[in-house]
């Protein structure tokens, strides 16, 4: 793997991009945050890659010759390798050379994910919600120290606080001594003789706690809200992880959502559609007036501007909102008797519509559904 791949940057990355990538990875793999052996090895690789690429001359040599240390020619020059063997890897493990000291007990806590359901109205305007989560929190008895109150870790008798012990290894140069994590203290340099009874020496316990979240207006199903530091508390006082809240919006009986717009359907009697009227409907913004003009056809849409959901930009709700579309459905009577039937028949005669049978051409249905669709989409006769 090349130094560029180790840092996760392109070969033509700028100095600033390389610096940012290094800082991000160094925080991730630093021994005080991530004490594992794999993390320590990765931290060493990341640091070495940055050391070469942050120096313009060494970076140029690396790009030209491919030498891992950025020397003018592979295998020669100050501090370089020999025959592809990196002396720095050997001497870095000797006492007094590259020793990083005792490891930290502190480990970062994990992130947590929970789901929260909100109503459509809450999703439109936003809502502040208190939720209960069960997660790891800092132990109040030892305050994250892992020790019983009044006690503290003691220096390891085996490694004398260094966290490492000498061991003999075989290298291309012969048998040499290198440093390995102390088995007695597990590389921490100290031993906890009196671990906290409450947390069993972890510095954290499982507990249910209440968290207040602010759900912004315009939120949608599947959106996640990140609460930094509200996840699991770290081991031995390590930094807490983040809490992610995934939102699910419940369906509404009266309104449907289409992006930032809302849609609702209202039914009006045939006579109202024919004669026209002003109707009042309930919305999330309170009662609103809808004008039903005389001769309104079923499927007609009236738009009420700015009564939809708030628009969400970069996770923040704005004052800009979508629209509310009101679809008017005209109801045709299904059972007509007596005087009602007489009046409808009289109306049909007055309008010349009293024929009970006959053939009607499709293109003559000026008020029909297909005719309206052709008008809406600009289609002509086939």
C-alpha 74/C-alpha 93 separation (Å) is 23
Q: Of 286, 285, 340, which Cα lies nearest the Cα of 308? A: 285
Are 85 and 215 within 8 A, CB to CB?
no
Residue indicated by tokens 């979508």: 322
Helix, strand, coil % (nearest 5) of the chain?
25, 30, 45
DSSP bridge pairs for 328: 266, 300
Length of the chain: 382
Sign of CA dihedral 21, 27, 31, 36: negative
Are 217 and 317 within 8 A, CB to CB?
yes
The first and second tokens of residue 312, run together, are 């969400």
Among left, alpha and beta (phi > 0; psi -120 to 50; other), residue 41 is: alpha
Element (H, E) at 344: helix 338-350
Are 239 and 229 within 8 A, CB to CB?
yes
Please list, residue by residue across 38-77, b when 16 or more beta carbons sit within 10 angstroms of its beta carbon and e when fewer do.
eebebbbebebbbebbeeeebbebbeeeebbbbbeebeee
Q: Which residues are annotated as a binding site?
A: 139, 142, 156, 159, 182, 185, 196, 199
Please list, residue by residue across 181-209, b when 16 or more beta carbons sit within 10 angstroms of its beta carbon and e when fewer do.
bbeebebbbbebeebbeebebbbbbeeee
The first and second tokens of residue 75, run together, are 């295998």
| 88 alpha carbon, distance to own chain's centre | 41
Give the C-alpha distances (Å, rounded to integers) separating 334 from 269, 270, 331, 346, 356: 12, 11, 9, 18, 17
Q: Which residues are annotated as a binding site for Zn(2+)?
A: 139, 142, 156, 159, 182, 185, 196, 199
Residue indicated by tokens 């947390």: 199
């Amino acid at each position: 793997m090349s130094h560029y791949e180790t840092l996760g940057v392109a070969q033509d990355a700028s100095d600033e991009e390389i610096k940012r990538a290094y800082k991000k990875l160094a925080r991730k793999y630093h021994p005080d945050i991530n004490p594992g052996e794999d993390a320590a090895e990765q931290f060493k690789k990341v640091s070495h890659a940055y050391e070469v690429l942050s120096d313009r001359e060494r970076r140029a040599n690396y790009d030209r010759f491919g030498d891992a240390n950025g020397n003018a020619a592979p295998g020669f020059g100050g501090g370089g390798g020999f025959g592809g063997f990196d002396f720095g890897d050997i001497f870095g493990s000797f006492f007094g050379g590259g020793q990083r000291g005792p490891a930290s007990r502190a480990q970062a806590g994990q992130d947590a994910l929970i789901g929260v359901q909100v109503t459509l109205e809450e999703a439109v305007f936003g809502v502040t919600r208190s939720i209960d989560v069960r997660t790891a929190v800092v132990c109040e008895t030892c305050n994250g120290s892992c020790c019983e109150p009044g006690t503290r870790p003691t220096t390891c008798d085996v490694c004398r606080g260094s966290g490492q012990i000498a061991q003999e290894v075989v290298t291309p140069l012969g048998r040499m001594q290198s440093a390995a994590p102390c088995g007695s203290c597990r590389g921490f340099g100290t031993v906890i003789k009196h671990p906290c009874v409450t947390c069993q020496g972890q510095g954290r316990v499982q507990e249910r706690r209440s968290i207040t979240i602010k759900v912004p207006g315009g939120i949608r199903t599947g959106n996640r809200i990140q609460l930094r530091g509200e996840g699991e508390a770290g081991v031995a006082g390590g930094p807490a992880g983040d809490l992610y809240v995934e939102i699910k919006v419940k369906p509404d009986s009266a309104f449907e959502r289409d992006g930032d717009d809302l849609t609702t359907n209202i039914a009006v009697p045939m006579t109202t559609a024919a004669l026209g009227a002003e109707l009042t409907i309930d919305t999330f913004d309170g009662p609103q007036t809808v004008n039903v003009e005389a001769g309104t056809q079923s499927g007609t849409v009236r738009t009420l501007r700015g009564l939809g959901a708030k628009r969400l930009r970069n996770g923040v709700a704005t004052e800009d909102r979508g629209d509310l579309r009101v679809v008017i459905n005209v109801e045709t009577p299904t059972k007509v008797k007596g005087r009602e039937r007489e009046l409808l028949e009289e109306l049909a005669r007055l309008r010349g519509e009293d024929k009970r049978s006959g053939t009607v051409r499709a293109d003559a249905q000026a008020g029909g559904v297909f005719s309206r669709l052709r008008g809406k989409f600009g289609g002509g006769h086939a």
